[in-house]
Structure 1
Amino acid sequence: MKSFRIIISGVVQGVGFRYFCFKKAVEYNISGYAKNLINGDVEVIAQGEEGLVNDFVKELKIGPRYSNVKSVNMEKIDVEKEYPQFLIY
């Protein structure tokens, strides 16, 4: 299982983006979390099979209806904790 930190920028708060992440994470069997950052971005930690995470990120680049994603930055990370499910913070 691979772990990734993904930062999504643009109009991504107040538009259901974290719930969208949750729905797509369930669809792609991704665990981890999504949370709003104070600067207006959304941070996602995604754990799963690398190919599925890449497909998940393609969905995040589109986002929900009222979002306007400007950028998605993804980096592979080492984490000690494995998340059993996808959470929204």
Structure 2
Amino acid sequence: MLAHVIVSGRVQGVGFRYSAMNRAIQLGLTGWVQNKIDGSVEMDVEGSEELVEEFLTDVKAGLNQVMKVENMTINKSEAEKGYMKFTIK
């Protein structure tokens, strides 16, 4: 499963990308995360449906005490891109 995610709220300057990468790696997921100019964060997350859902639940709850997720737009697809690892862009 592939999930393309846009996260908004207090998500830049609070370690969001690093925390997202660490959690994805812990779960064995692949993809990438990057800051967007508008202050949101964009991600592609790939792996089993169960693990991707766990990751998204963790992101929504906040991966650290400083960040605050206000909104998440998630587009899911069965067509995977074949990422080899999870990276910060």
- Please say whether Structure 1 and Structure 2 have the same fold, judged by a TM-score greater than 0.5: yes
Query: Structure 2-normalised TM-score?
Result: 0.91
Q: 1:81 deviation in Å? A: 3.3
- Equivalence map 1:44-63=2 (5 Å): 44-63=43-62
Q: Distance in 1 between matches of 2:80 and 2:46?
A: 12
Query: Which residue pairs with 2:65 in the alignment?
Result: 65
Corresponding position: 1:5 with 2:16: no
State the alpha-carbon separation in 2 of the partners of residues 79 and 49 from structure 1. 12
Where in structure 1 are there 5+ consecutive unaligned residues? none
1:76 aligns with 2:70: no
Higher mean Cα deviation, 46-55 or 76-85?
A: 76-85
Using structure 1 for the length normalisation, give the TM-score: 0.91
Report how far residue 36 of structure 1 moved. Answer: 0.3
* Runs of 4+ with >3 A deviation: 77-81
Match of 1:24 in 2: 23
Relative distance call for 1:49 and 1:15 in structure 2 (3 A) is: same
For each residue in 1:12-60, what CA deviation from the matched residue of structure 2 results, as whole angstroms up to 9, or x when unmatched? 0000000010111011111000000111000010000011000000110
- Structure 2 unaligned runs (5+)? none
Identity in percent: 36
Any idea what SS the aligned residue of 2:69 has?
strand
More divergent stretch after superposition (72-81 vs 46-55): 72-81
